[in-house]
Amino acid sequence: MEFSWSAIQSIQSLETSRAGRFQPEWRPILLGYFGLTPGMRVLEVGCGPGTLAPYLAAGVNPGTVTAVDLDKEFIQYAEDKAHREGHTGIRYLVANAYHLPFADGLFDAAVSYTGIGILQQPRQAIREMVRVVRPGGSIAVAEAVTGQTGILFKGVDALGRQESYPGAHQYWELKDRLHHALAQKPLGLGDPDWPPEAIWGLMAEEGVINLRINAWGYVDADDDSRHPSRMARIRDNGARELELVRLVRSDPQWKNIFQVKEWDELVRLIEARQNWLVDHAAFDWEAGLSIVMAGTQGL
């Protein structure tokens, strides 16, 4: 089967979520976190549909960004977007993080945003990033912790479970079962999610020195600039939740998590919850933290 990350995480959901994370006022700060300065030749690994590369390219101008991903659809979309929006200094390429098609020491920096922690073999990808960067160049790997169910948000999650719309109890029960089943059986394309501390250790072992850590956060809330109104945000999140259910439900490896009537019930409950949230949106928010681990090619 051909590799297709876009089948489990759509272009639209990546574009929307990253627009919130890479807010304009953060972009210059992130360049520093990633160890980038003007004039550098930068490699971005796992660039998806080009959600970060344009900001990197603007920041390292007159340097350049080579952005690679294994998903052809993402690369095609990113190229079209660069053309449409007139981005310069970026080259997009279909390539595998495990076997980068570049000579040793070709780049001044290699970076990745949520592109390493999702791999089966993160060490191999980090080894490749180290290989293609010159000694003394920068290596940065960023990972994200997100979601109402993320480790940071257990307290808020518990409050969310106090929701009192009809069917709330079944909704959370089905969602718990769904998440539990998804966690047991990786999606096969990239899972499992490696915790940042494991990635940090791999970077050190693979020859990255002077490691430092930085982080920035965001709250995807009712006043979020990504949504014109609170109502639009509630509807958008509901649509994303339904899309996930539709994708999981149609996948042969997942569809038996629930019986048909339970899938139908989950869809009904998601829709019912969205209607309830319109008047009771107290806990419908999501927060995230992006952690950047960066250092120097020390081989």
Ligand X SMILES: C[S@@+](CC[C@H](N)C(=O)[O-])C[C@H]1O[C@@H](n2cnc3c(N)ncnc32)[C@H](O)[C@@H]1O
Binding site for ligand X (CB under 6 A): 5, 14, 18, 46-48, 51, 69-71, 74, 96-98, 113-115, 118-119, 190
- Residue 47 CB, shortest distance to ligand X, in Å, is 6
- Residue 76 CB, shortest distance to ligand X, in Å, is 12
> Which residue, 75 or 208, is less far from ligand X as judged by CB?
75
Reference 192, options 153, 143, 152; nearest CA is 143
In the bound complex, which residue of the shown chain has the CB atom lying closest to ligand X?
48
> Which residue, 46 or 295, is less far from ligand X as judged by CB?
46
Helix, strand counts (H, E) of the chain: 10, 7
Residues 90, 218: Cα–Cα separation, whole Å: 27
For 79, 130, 214, 272, 290, the CA distances from 145, given in Å and listed in that order, are 28, 24, 13, 28, 6
Count of CB atoms within 10 A of residue 127's CB?
Answer: 16
> Which residue, 157 or 191, is less far from ligand X as judged by CB?
191
In this structure, are residues 258 and 189 in contact, taking their beta carbons and an 8 Å threshold? no
- Residue 69 CB, shortest distance to ligand X, in Å, is 5
In this structure, are residues 257 and 105 in contact, taking their beta carbons and an 8 Å threshold? no
> Which residue, 56 or 174, is less far from ligand X as judged by CB?
56
> Which residue, 113 or 171, is less far from ligand X as judged by CB?
113
Phi, psi of 289 (to 5 degrees): -130, 130
- Residue 54 CB, shortest distance to ligand X, in Å, is 12
- Residue 70 CB, shortest distance to ligand X, in Å, is 4
